[in-house]
Amino acid sequence: MLPYFSGDFGNAASSTHVYGWRAAAAVDIAREQVGAALGAHPDQVIFTSGATESNNLAIVGTARARSRRGRHLITAATEHPSVLDPFRALAKQGYEITVLPVDAGGRIDPQQVAAAITDATTLVSVMAANNEIGTLNPIAEIGGRCRERGVVFHCDAAQAAGKVPLDFTSLPVDLLSVSAHKCYGPKGVGALCVAGRRVRPEPLFHGGGHEGGLRPGTLPVPQIVGMGRAFEIADRGRDEEARRLLRLHGRLWARLHDALGEAVFLNGDAEERLPGNLNVGFRGVDADALITALPDLALSSGSACASAEPGPSHVLKALGLRDDAIRSSLRIGLGRDTSEADVDRAGVRILEEVAKVSERGVVAPQPAPRA
């Protein structure tokens, strides 16, 4: 990225001199790298400021582009705020919104998607992988149901990209959102893959003709270069890294479960999940107290994106967890820099603090987590 902050400072849209050409060539390479990692043609990749913008463009842009055909839109209860909030805004503008429930593991049933589609439905938006609980959705099946009815299918793949296989060309997905920083790239850049003209959303911004007119504005060349490289690296090591993370995930879960038995429970689907996500509840323990006692571990309750959201996580609520089970749940993220030694140390520290918190009487005997 560094050369494009200074020496190669050209504007990728300047077509009349070598400085612009060099910037444009760097953007072309990044577009190919991102496309290759997602199984998309480079021309299908539209750079944005991140998955939040990609989601807004896909959802609001499609609703507007198709408003003459119908004004019914479908999404799911566990979606990221950058999906749910655009839907809420559209509801205020008179669109009819269906929010689908999920099963106890957080999965969407394709049958329910099919049943919710009406003649007025123009868009379905369902995420590939959940950011709080790591649950993977049956995207191919859901997209298939949308195709049968001629409904545009948008998928927020910010968590899935670079972590699990995704092939935009063979999947029945029309619009796919991704973010660079979820793949160790820079913050403030992402992309929306657009399958073709047939499913083109209306642009949210109006200006120059950048990005096929879908997203005008001078391209942030250094960020785009960084995103391209991050996606290339993630794609190359994806399967091996997934196996490594699954091993660490299993090891940490085993440590906690061996020590605590039924006093610890797993949130999300046990099988269909991101390898690096472990969302667990410690029965009767206040998770925020635990997180505060462990500042050396990067733990969180809820999501970083919803930290402005007061009250219990909408994702855990959608799983049917009771409020006390939600309050005792926290999220542990395993990543590229996490070693086996880290996981062992984290397990020991968590168990120490759970024992301390329990001694202080914060623990009370609790019934099963689900209502």
Q: Which residues are catalytic?
A: 305
List own/partner pairs for 144-147 with CB under 8 A and 24 or more apart: 144/110, 144/172, 145/110, 145/113, 145/114, 145/117, 146/113, 146/117, 146/172, 146/174, 147/172
| Nearest one of 66, 70, 88, 71 to 79, comparing CA atoms | 88
Interface with ligand PLP (CB under 6 A), residue total: 14
Residues in 283-302 that interact with ligand PLP by CB under 6 A: none
- Detail the DSSP E strand segments found in the chain: 45-48, 72-76, 96-100, 121-125, 152-156, 175-179, 190-194, 264-267, 277-282, 299-300, 329-333
How far, rounded to the nearest angstrom, does the alpha carbon of residue 284 sit from its chain's CA centroid? 29
Q: Is 179 in the site for ligand PLP (CB under 6 A)?
A: yes
Q: Is 273 in the site for ligand PLP (CB under 6 A)?
A: no
Which residues touch 209 (CB under 8 Å, ≥6 apart)? 216
Q: Is 52 in the site for ligand PLP (CB under 6 A)?
A: yes
> Based on CB atoms, which residue is closest to ligand PLP, 191 or 195?
191
Q: Is 183 in the site for ligand PLP (CB under 6 A)?
A: no
> Based on CB atoms, which residue is closest to ligand PLP, 80 or 249?
80
> Based on CB atoms, which residue is closest to ligand PLP, 33 or 159?
159
> Based on CB atoms, which residue is closest to ligand PLP, 44 or 179?
179
- The distance of closest approach from Cβ of residue 123 to ligand PLP in the complex, given in angstroms and rounded to an integer, is 17
- The distance of closest approach from Cβ of residue 54 to ligand PLP in the complex, given in angstroms and rounded to an integer, is 8
Lateral strand order in the sheet of 45-48 = 45-48, 190-194, 175-179, 152-156, 121-125, 72-76, 96-100
Residues in 121-150 that interact with ligand PLP by CB under 6 A: 127, 131
Site for ligand PLP (CB under 6 A): which residue of 78, 139, 156, 279?
156
- The distance of closest approach from Cβ of residue 16 to ligand PLP in the complex, given in angstroms and rounded to an integer, is 33
Residues in 326-355 that interact with ligand PLP by CB under 6 A: none
- The distance of closest approach from Cβ of residue 146 to ligand PLP in the complex, given in angstroms and rounded to an integer, is 19
Which residues touch 360 (CB under 8 Å, ≥6 apart)? none
Which residues touch 334 (CB under 8 Å, ≥6 apart)? 245, 248, 249, 252, 275, 276, 277, 278, 343
What tokens appear for 14 in the block? 């300047």
Q: Is 268 in the site for ligand PLP (CB under 6 A)?
A: no
- The distance of closest approach from Cβ of residue 285 to ligand PLP in the complex, given in angstroms and rounded to an integer, is 26
> Based on CB atoms, which residue is closest to ligand PLP, 308 or 371?
308
Question: Which residues contact ligand PLP by CB under 6 A?
Answer: 50-52, 80, 82, 127, 131, 156, 158-159, 179, 182, 190, 305
